[in-house]
Amino acid sequence: MLKFLLKIKEDDILIKDFHTHTNNSDGTKTPEELIDLAVSRGIKSLAVTDHDSIKGLKSAVSYAQGKLSFTPGVEFTTRDEKFPQTDGKYCLHILGYGFDIYNDRLNFALDDRAKRVKKSYDVLIRNLEKYGMYFDYSQVKISYGIVMQMCDIAAYVEEHYKDNPKLKNAIEEIYGYAENLDFENFSLGDCIELIHNAGGKAVWAHPFNVYRNFSKQIIGEEQVEYILKAAVSLGIDGIEALYGDFTHEERLALCSIAKKNGLFVTCGSDYHGFKNKRNRFIEFDTDIYSDFEIL
């Protein structure tokens, strides 16, 4: 069962991180390594939220016992959708917390998505044969973890077919394949429903950062509120207002938006463990945000 823990802190410093990734998606550490590192850094409450996967949660739940408070999580990549009064289609990332990790429907949906994405990449790779490029999925080096990206295929092609006169055409086709891959994602409503059906809570991750064709887009408060109105109508429970990359002013603005809509807020670093980026856990002075309900 999901526990709402208000102000888990030590000397007024927040010591929880509810947005982290392992090598079961695009992180660099195993769940066990991540938990050990979090403990060593003083984190008392942790959630692992791998992209579109809950494969590492069973071992993480077991390993975390007696070490820290652990909440099962996931980060869904939604399909690009048009929201009223916004300037185009956007993909949101939706965090799920506290769900039953053995829920059949959730596990089937994520497994099926993974198979469909793999099949879609196989089709893309076969399409490149017309440029005289012959290879398969297993030959492509994945940047981090187990999440294949279009840039990984592009990097393989650029390395192995650099003298191919049709290289530019192939690269254009790779990046033009985004719409096909996007189709394999769940809609915003489906993501929220899958999380709720499994007994969890749904949270909009890093609301100022959305995506279009897998490319990050920065939006402002007004567009956040327009999108949030649609998300609330679909049952969203909270927003990740205390996000590591946001400024203090941005965090306060999101906290106020959440409070106005009756939502709780969460905090997260988006830890991946990269050498020079996303390798720090979250740390906030809780007194600054004491007027808001923090998960």
Same domain, 228 and 276: yes
Residue 180: both structure tokens together? 């096909």
Distance separating alpha carbons of residues 19 and 267, to the nearest angstrom: 7
Q: Model-level pTM? A: 0.92
Residue 127 counted as domain residue: yes
> In which residue are the tokens 């409450």 written?
45
**Hey, CA dihedral for 162, 164, 165, 168, is it positive or negative?**
negative
Tokens of 86: 């916004």
DSSP state of 95: E
Q: Are residues 205 and 261 in the same domain?
A: yes
Quote the crossing angle between the two packed helices 248-260 and 221-233, to the nearest 10°.
40
Looking at the structure, tell me whether residues 207 and 90 fall in a common domain. yes
| 150-160 vs 104-127: helix crossing angle, rounded to 10 | 30
In a domain, 166, yes or no: yes
86, part of any domain: yes
What stretches of the chain adopt beta strand conformation (E)? 9-10, 13-14, 16-17, 45-48, 69-77, 81-82, 89-90, 93-97, 201-204, 209-212, 215-218, 238-243, 264-268
Same domain for 94 and 20: yes
SS3 call for 117? helix
| Domain assignment of residue 7, yes or no | no
Q: Are residues 210 and 133 part of one domain? A: no
Same domain, 89 and 123: no
Q: Are residues 45 and 96 in the same domain?
A: yes
CA distances (Å), 167 to each of 15, 132, 157, 160, 191, in order?
A: 49, 10, 8, 10, 37
Identify whether residues 97 and 126 lie together within a single domain. Answer: no
Instruction: Indicate whether 250 belongs to any domain.
Output: yes
Q: Does residue 107 lie within any of the structural domains?
A: no
Cβ(80)–Cβ(174) below 8 Å: no
Domain count, the chain: 2
* Planar angle of CA 171, 175, 181, nearest 5 degrees: 135
Among the listed residues 28, 93, 94, 78, the one whose alpha carbon sits nearest the alpha carbon of residue 56: 28
Domain that holds residue 82: 13-102+200-289
Q: Decide if 205 is inside a domain.
A: yes
Residue 288: per-residue pLDDT: 56
Residues 214 and 277 in one domain: yes
- 167 and 52 within one domain: no
Q: At what angle do helices 31-40 and 57-64 cross, to 10 degrees?
A: 40
Same domain for 117 and 241, yes or no, is no
User: What pLDDT was estimated at residue 277?
Assistant: 73
Position 192 in a domain: no
The whole-number mean pLDDT for each consecutive block of 10 residues of the chain, a chain of 295 residues, reads 37 74 94 96 93 96 96 97 93 97 98 97 98 97 90 97 97 95 97 98 98 94 97 97 92 94 94 84 62 57
Cβ-Cβ contacts under 8 Å for 18 (sequence gap 6 or more): 45, 46, 47, 49, 71, 73, 95, 97, 240, 266, 267, 268, 295
CATH assignment of the domain containing 39:
3.20.20.140
